[in-house]
Amino acid sequence: MNYSTRFPNNILFKDEGVEYHLYNGIYSTPHDHAGIWECFIMMQGKAIHLCNGSSKLIDRGFFAVMRPKDRHYFASTKTLVTPQHVSISILDSHVRKILDSIDPSLYDELLYYSDNLTMQLNEKHVKYFFINLEELFFTALLESHYVSNLLKFKFTDLLSIMLVAKQKKSNNYPPIVRELIEHFYTESKSEKSIDEFCKEFSYSHAQLLRIFLNASGKTLVYFLTDLKFDKAYNLLLSTNDII
């Protein structure tokens, strides 16, 4: 399927620091993202993604967050299907404000995360993203500020997916940590305090924090940040200010 017949190729909101692109084919020029964060998803075809000295064969559903410090490009493969990927980019200063509204430590943790920020989305996530994107473009004739805010919302949604993927349980975690993380996500609408979780699992505050940090390498508070993304959504969709 050629998505260029369903989605526009470019939408630019330079005054608001937001850009959308649909790339047909391979963007083969090495480049960094000075001052910009980009989320992109492969829509169809295959390509080789080269990023920060590593390479990976990618296809539909490959998702990456490119930070200002990242340098990447694409190489072609022998395929009959034209590679296409969708990209949403936002100014670094805007991303910092979004993340600071959730947890001031998140910006640096993502920016200096040691590995590339990539993952493979399942087909359910891919279809959901494309349906949302298609619905967004039905609003293209509406006020540009409204459309740019929807793009910010989608960018934040994608960023939250990446954060959750990097925070989720590991097979090496002890059972109590796995159970606790599962509880956070199944009870994602709750606003329980850490002390309440400690009482529920019969651990002291210090014991639980120490076990969690030793197992995951991250603080318990860091894992809870996904619960706060609604605040970022509300900020993006309810304000008329440029962020």
Q: What sign has the CA pseudo-torsion 124, 234, 94, 242?
A: positive
pLDDT band at residue 221 under the 50/70/90 scheme: confident
Work out the burial of residue 197: count CB atoms within 10 Å of its CB; fewer than 13 is exposed, 13-18 middle, 19 or more buried: buried
AA identity, residue 160 = S
> Taking a C-beta distance cutoff of 8 angstroms, is the pair 67, 91 a contact?
no
Helix (H) or strand (E) holding 28: none
pLDDT of residue 169: 44
More confident residue, 61 or 166: 61
More confident residue, 91 or 104: 91
Q: What percent of the chain has pLDDT over 70?
A: 71
pLDDT of residue 212: 79
- Report CA 71 to chain centroid distance, whole Å: 18
AA identity, residue 170 = S
pLDDT of residue 8: 56
Could you give the CA distance from residue 243 to residue 233 in angstroms, rounded to a whole number?
12
Q: 210 — phi, psi (to 5°)?
A: -65, -45
pLDDT of residue 5: 46
3-class state of residue 23 by DSSP: strand
3-class state of residue 101 by DSSP: coil
Q: 46 — phi, psi (to 5°)?
A: -130, 155
List the chain domain ranges: 3-167, 175-230
- Fold for 3-167, please state it: Jelly Rolls (2.60.120)
pLDDT of residue 188: 45
Q: 176 — phi, psi (to 5°)?
A: -65, -35
Q: 171 — phi, psi (to 5°)?
A: -65, -20
